Structure 1
């Protein structure tokens, strides 16, 4: 049993430690005792019930979803963002913020980071904290020029991310998709384009969006996909695009001329990258995510709770 003086001492220590976030070293200096003594008092407080550790686990279900998807698709890591009862705008913000924190922890000094394009990457970068890293460079993995919604283009995303990290960035001054395969071959041979694509092949970390070509498609809105092309892609059972390449339900890149007109690193190169994070959320992305996971293009996934639940439970 603790006497009154010991109990008062322990309460004072715990208030400094838990309420005011003092380190054990600082508390030890204040009371002129050793750090192990403070550690022992904090442990004692738990044992006798002075301190109770309560974890508000609203995320138990999301944890189960994360582990389920990781095991089902042999992924390194999955982040499922709790989004129950949030409207669409708040879901977008929550996923962007969570993705930013997730990616930030993956980045090390000296890393080369590749980024694709799209709304989800834009929201991630907008929420990205200012945290300078040493000798970091951000590289666009796919072209994307034009005057419409420039904030979601790969060059702008690379620039904004590099600014947040205090690093450098490259720019890929080319469209995502060009009119002919011959034009594509001419453009990728240009020295300034070829050098950026070569850097994209060697990134330490890639962050890519997963698109649905038929629903809320950025590529369709930008005029890259005509009705005729969309019909042809449907005939090939295409369900998703990654880095502006189109894949079918089984995760295979389809044999369509549009895949040969893309200026950016290919999906086989993406597979060779050790750390690829895929960002996608919303129920219209379920088949897209499944196809991407089946194809083995990403090792990490960030999505929302409702989508994750469908991915793992809808067979």
Structure 2
């Protein structure tokens, strides 16, 4: 089938473009569950007039069902998407991009989903689905899995489903609370993952940002110390990657440190560590949870982040050299390649 697709790209490029467009629309409908035409048009970047024609076609083919409240995928449509899955990477030209990034940074695996998370909520959902799939494949029995917070990690949690190896696993937060929306904190995401996967969880009820005196005091508490030891025994970590200045604002870093980070060229934040363009650590927040040495010794370090705006940040963390798997989107991947590999 791949040979046929290559021939179509050469002789019938318009046909391939139409396939991509209809695949994208159908996939958006599947991930959304039930979606209205206007919302779908905004998500796929099409006018309502153009979308109406495509929706009519998909309905005629029996691939979607149209109701008063919106559109949903049919059983035939879901089956078609499953059959197309092996060809999607080639259809969107992502397989070569995955290999280029994987080999450059020495990763075990790179997974790229179509789209740009900065502008498409659908793409962020797809990142979550892909991240959940990777985790299910890598996890063994009775593993301890550490997770960070953030909206992308929340999508990963949403897409987890009960699986035999995961039912005996522990899910733990990689660090304390961020002081933002409760649903995006690592504690919440760890508990959600455990419930969705049929596993167990432990929580860390301490603030994310601590002064040195508070940090030392908490570490003397036997209960806190026992949970920290449990978290640091994790063999898998699933984490997001943030833009340095954005995360400094979210974590209410003091102005002097923020200016120092800016002056030193901080581009990325992960695990409370700030990295420069070359992957060097510029600053560590005094937080309770995983340390960089814990992450370096883990079996699987899975980074999940997308959006064109995060391209440089993703490359910065990859250059630190301790990621195993990257799950990202097309826009971020091209930013990595165009800005940092060319």
Cα distance, 1:87 vs structure 2: 4.3
CA distance in structure 1 between the aligned counterparts of 2:301 and 2:258, rounded to whole angstroms: 27
Equivalent residue in structure 1 for 2:109, among 57, 77, 83: 77
Deviations 1:96-131 (A, max 9, x none): 222122222222221111111111101111122233
The answer to whether the Cα contact below 8 Å between 1:277 and 1:298 also exists between their aligned partners in 2 is: yes
The answer to whether the Cα contact below 8 Å between 2:111 and 2:327 also exists between their aligned partners in 1 is: yes
The answer to whether the Cα contact below 8 Å between 2:112 and 2:328 also exists between their aligned partners in 1 is: yes
Equivalent residue in structure 2 for 1:139, among 162, 172, 192: 172
Query: Equivalent residue of 1:263, what SS?
Result: coil
Q: Does 1:197 align with 2:228?
A: yes
Cα distance, 1:84 vs structure 2: 6.9
Q: Which position in structure 2 is the counterpart of 1:167?
A: 199
Deviations 1:249-274 (A, max 9, x none): 211211x4xx2512221112211112
Taking a change above 3 Å as real, the CA distance of residues 55 and 93 of structure 1, as seen in their structure-2 partners, is: closer
Q: Which position in structure 1 is the counterpart of 2:260?
A: 232
Q: What TM-score does the superposition give when structure 2 sets the normalisation length?
A: 0.69
Equivalent residues in 2 for 1:1-315 (5 A)?
57-60=87-90, 61-83=93-115, 87-132=119-164, 133-144=166-177, 146=179, 148-178=180-210, 180-215=211-246, 217=247, 220-221=249-250, 223-254=251-282, 256=283, 259-315=284-340
CA distance in structure 2 between the aligned counterparts of 1:311 and 1:95, rounded to whole angstroms: 17
Query: Equivalent residue of 2:289, what SS?
Result: coil
Query: Equivalent residue of 2:293, what SS?
Result: helix
Structure with bigger helix share is 2
CA distance in structure 2 between the aligned counterparts of 1:54 and 1:120, rounded to whole angstroms: 25
Q: What TM-score does the superposition give when structure 1 sets the normalisation length?
A: 0.75
The answer to whether the Cα contact below 8 Å between 1:280 and 1:289 also exists between their aligned partners in 2 is: yes
Taking a change above 3 Å as real, the CA distance of residues 129 and 234 of structure 1, as seen in their structure-2 partners, is: same
The answer to whether the Cα contact below 8 Å between 2:117 and 2:306 also exists between their aligned partners in 1 is: no
CA distance in structure 2 between the aligned counterparts of 1:196 and 1:84, rounded to whole angstroms: 37
Number of equivalences: 255
Cα distance, 1:164 vs structure 2: 1.3
**Alignment RMSD, CA only?**
2.2
Structure 1: runs of 5 or more not aligned:
1-52
